[in-house]
């Protein structure tokens, strides 16, 4: 049968990263292309204990249908977190549990986007977000991302040139792929522009708790007095990604629409997953675990960056990130980026070509994304050395 695919999906391809991971899935390949959290950052014993207790005392809770908004005790914990720790919750706001932060993008897109509507994105931006927006037929308008956040003049111009743009998508902390952190002044400027133009901001903060240097900067949502900002969080890096738990804090009216969409997508997030996060937030030592995560990521980030300085210092430029999972390297002029990626792959190191993160994937890029959370420390050492050899022999 000749399927008549929808306009949003007809030209949408699977994530390049996913394809790279398939091709380079051999066990000997060093996985700098992935974005998996470090397994030793998972609170395995805590989760084991929580799951054991749940099935011992309340198996029917774990197995029966739940409500779409989320398991009520978890929603209460998340509201407390948003109020007390992140300061992102106003009296007009609510929280719902989502199946990862990815689902927040999907719910918001479905609630706001008509085919052809504009979404303003940092450029480069997270490919899972770009593909989500594309799937709704969005026109993606990129705003160049600098070391301290979006170029504000370019953002203003994008808003002027695209009246009726539906939302601005940003990862202010340790952006994927660029590793950059948006400074406080730019957060204010982004908020003020969004308010002036009447455009929603999707503030995606999956990496906020992985800061390994510098000082925390208040979320854009902390400035929100108009219900403009949709704040999205994830437990993929704090607890574990395989349980698929995220959340969204937003104005209740908008949240009601997103909840209706969630009902049509997956009815609710699995109760076991929600219970793990609820119990962990309620009974376990959040600060101690975050400190542990930070120490793991600090070690791995510095290991990779020190080695890049040593092995690739003549061949790449980059800004050492203050957190997150990625190092975004600009190749020197003598390299053709895609050729470099292929040579790296042939030498046993998988890295992601920078064009994967552009609004127009066909545009050219001088960048590659390196991940330091998935490989072992030995893998980091070996992989960067191989990249150094590839560069020297280029």
Residues 19-78 that bind its own copies (CB under 8 A): 34-37, 39, 42, 44, 47-48, 51-52, 55-56, 59-68
Is residue 363 helix, strand or coil?
A: coil
- Considering only residues 175 to 234 of the shown chain, the ones binding its own copies according to CB under 8 A are 198, 200, 226-228
- Considering only residues 326 to 345 of the shown chain, the ones binding its own copies according to CB under 8 A are none
Nearer of residues 242 and 313 to its own copies, judged by Cβ: 242
- Binding of residue 288 to its own copies (CB under 8 A): no
Q: Which of 261, 332, 347, 381 binds its own copies (CB under 8 A)?
A: 261
Helices vs. strands in the chain: H and E counts, helices first? 14, 14
Is residue 40 helix, strand or coil?
A: helix
What is the closest distance, in whole angstroms, from the C-beta atom of residue 287 to its own copies in the complex? 21
φ/ψ of 214, rounded to 5, equals 75, -175
Q: Which of 213, 264, 295, 364 binds its own copies (CB under 8 A)?
A: 264
- Binding of residue 289 to its own copies (CB under 8 A): no
| CA–CA distance, 255 with 275 (Å, rounded to integer) | 22
- Binding of residue 293 to its own copies (CB under 8 A): no
What is the closest distance, in whole angstroms, from the C-beta atom of residue 75 to its own copies in the complex? 15
Total number of residues that touch its own copies (CB under 8 A) = 86
Handedness of CA 368, 292, 239, 26 (dihedral sign): positive
Cβ burial of 83 (10 Å; 0-12, 13-18, 19+) is middle
What is the closest distance, in whole angstroms, from the C-beta atom of residue 33 to its own copies in the complex? 13
CA–chain centroid gap for 308, Å, is 24
Q: How many CB atoms lie within 10 A of CB 173?
A: 24
Nearer of residues 257 and 366 to its own copies, judged by Cβ: 257
- Binding of residue 105 to its own copies (CB under 8 A): yes
Contacting residues for 43 by C-beta, under 8 A, at least 6 apart: 239, 240, 280, 284, 289
Is residue 51 helix, strand or coil?
A: helix
- Binding of residue 170 to its own copies (CB under 8 A): no
- Binding of residue 144 to its own copies (CB under 8 A): no
- Binding of residue 300 to its own copies (CB under 8 A): no
φ/ψ of 264, rounded to 5, equals -80, -15
Cβ burial of 311 (10 Å; 0-12, 13-18, 19+) is buried
- Binding of residue 163 to its own copies (CB under 8 A): no
- Considering only residues 354 to 383 of the shown chain, the ones binding its own copies according to CB under 8 A are none
Nearer of residues 102 and 205 to its own copies, judged by Cβ: 102
């Amino acid at each position: 049968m000749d399927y008549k695919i929808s306009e949003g999906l007809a030209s949408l391809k699977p994530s390049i990263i996913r394809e790279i991971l398939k091709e380079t899935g051999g066990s000997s390949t060093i996985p700098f292309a992935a974005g998996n959290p470090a397994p030793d950052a998972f609170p395995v014993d805590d989760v084991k204990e929580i799951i054991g207790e749940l099935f011992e005392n309340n198996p029917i809770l774990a197995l029966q249908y739940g409500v779409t908004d989320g398991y009520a005790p978890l929603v209460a914990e998340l509201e407390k977190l948003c109020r007390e720790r992140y300061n992102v919750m106003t009296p007009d706001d609510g929280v719902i549990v989502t199946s990862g932060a990815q689902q927040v993008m999907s719910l918001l897109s479905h609630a706001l986007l008509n085919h052809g509507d504009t979404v303003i994105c940092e450029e480069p931006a997270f490919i899972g977000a770009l593909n989500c927006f594309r799937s709704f037929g969005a026109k993606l308008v990129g705003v160049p991302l600098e070391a301290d956040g979006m170029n504000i003049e370019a953002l203003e111009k994008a808003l002027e040139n695209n009246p009726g743009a539906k939302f601005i998508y940003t990862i202010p902390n340790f952006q994927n792929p660029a590793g950059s952190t948006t400074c406080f002044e730019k957060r204010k400027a982004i908020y003020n522009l969004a308010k002036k133009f009447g455009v929603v901001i999707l503030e995606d903060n999956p990496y906020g708790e992985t800061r390994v240097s510098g000082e925390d900067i208040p979320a854009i949502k902390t400035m929100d007095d108009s219900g403009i900002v949709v704040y999205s969080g994830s437990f993929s890096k704090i607890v574990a990604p395989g349980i698929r738990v995220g959340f969204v804090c937003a104005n209740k009216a908008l949240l009601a629409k997103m909840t209706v969409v969630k009902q049509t997508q997956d009815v609710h997030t699995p109760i076991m997953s929600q219970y793990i996060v609820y119990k962990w937030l309620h009974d376990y030592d959040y600060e101690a675990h975050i400190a542990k995560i930070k120490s793991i990521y600090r070690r791995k980030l510095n290991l990779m960056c020190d080695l890049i300085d040593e092995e690739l210092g003549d061949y790449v430029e980059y800004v050492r990130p203050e957190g997150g999972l990625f190092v975004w390297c600009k190749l020197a002029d003598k390299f053709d980026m895609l050729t470099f990626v292929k040579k790296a792959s042939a030498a046993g190191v998988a890295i992601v070509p920078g064009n994967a993160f552009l609004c127009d994937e066909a545009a050219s890029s001088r960048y590659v994304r390196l991940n330091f959370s998935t490989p072992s420390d030995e893998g980091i050492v070996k992989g960067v050395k191989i990249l150094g050899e590839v560069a020297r022999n280029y």
